Every structure is written in C-alpha cells, then in structure tokens.
Amino acid sequence: MSTKLYAASLILAPLCYALSSFFWHTTGQYTEYTVTSGTLLIVDSVFWVFAFAALFDLLKGKAPGYAAWGFFIAVYGCLCGGVGFALRDIFTLAFHIPHKQMLETFAKYPVFDNIVFWIGGPAFPLSLLVLGIVLTVTKKVSLWVGVLIALSGALFPVSRIMRIEMIAHATDVCMLVPMVYLGRRLITNKLFISNYREKS
C-alpha cells in the first residue's frame, strides 16, 4: 500500500502543480492564484509530503541526517509555500481585497509574514534544489533525473515570484518529467524505497 501511495504521490504532486499554472488570474500588474489553482495547490501539497517522504527515504542509508532534517524542511515548505500562498490568494480573491492592500496588511504582522511566507515559501524550492543535488551525488537516481529536480528548484522562485506563465510551465515540466519517471520505476519495482538502492 505504501509503495502505491508513494508512486501515486510522485506522479500527482508535480502534475497538480503543472495544472494549477493554467488557472492563474491577472488583475492589473499582479497575477494571483484563482480558487481553482489554489485548490489544486492545497491538494497538491498533500501529495508532495508523500513524494518527499519517498525521495528522502532513498537517502536514509547514505545521508541519514539530511534525510531527516531535509524532509522536515520540505514539509514545512509544502505547508507554507503551497497551502499558505494558495489560501492567501483564495481569500484575497473571495473577499475582493486588492493585492497591494493585502501585502500592506501582512507587513503589519512581520513574525507571521516571515514564518509563513518569506521563510516558509522558499523552503519548498530550496528543498528540491538540494535534494536533486544530493540524490545525484549519492547516485540514488540517474544524472538527468537529479539535474532536472535541482533545476526545477532553481527555476521555481523565478516562475512563482514573477508569475510568467511560460517560465512556470517550463519549471513544471522540469519537475514533472523526473518525478513521473521515478513514480513509474517505483510501480514497476525498479526503485527500492526500503532498501535504499536501485536495480542495475
């Protein structure tokens, strides 16, 4: 059961992210998540927790410390970077709050603003970037898989801060392709989570 859950999450997590990029809403100079894209991100964040669990599980043998703390930071990024930003934009849209007013209001609560958005937000792409590098160095995944995962982490802040759709779609592809590949290998028993090794 856990193998199927991990495999499904590896595929569905980046897929929901990719789909959410098609439902952004632009008002003036700001591009925000709509109710549809926000909902996809919230559901997606749940899948990302299990996807990260599968990926960090691969590293327990060679990098146990990083596997534990890296997973903790990744989950923190999922909750804040995914759920936090999604709920923010959904409520902003639902209650017709201007984007500038929303930013000014959050600025009055710096502890909350920093913990949830300015620190929690970057935790997700940073986790992808470092995870891709570590998986590559430890040879737990193929070189191209690790490079694409790391690249998606590096491009993610640019695509989401600037909200440029073409960059976002390119980032989503970089994220989707290696994750679907790993999910498929897990389904076909070519990727061993519990044994921390791959079939040759």
At residue 189, the pLDDT reads 75
Q: Please list the ranges in the chain whose pLDDT falls under 50.
A: 194-200
Burial class of residue 104, CB neighbours in 10 A (0-12, 13-18, 19+): exposed
At residue 193, the pLDDT reads 57
pLDDT tens digits, 64-99: 999 999 999 999 999 988 899 999 999 998 999 988
By the 8 A CB rule, do 149 and 96 touch? no
d(CA 3, CA 116): 31
By the 8 A CB rule, do 171 and 155 touch? yes
What is the token pair recorded at 66?
């990083």
d(CA 182, CA 101): 42
Residue 117: in which H helix or E strand, if any?
none
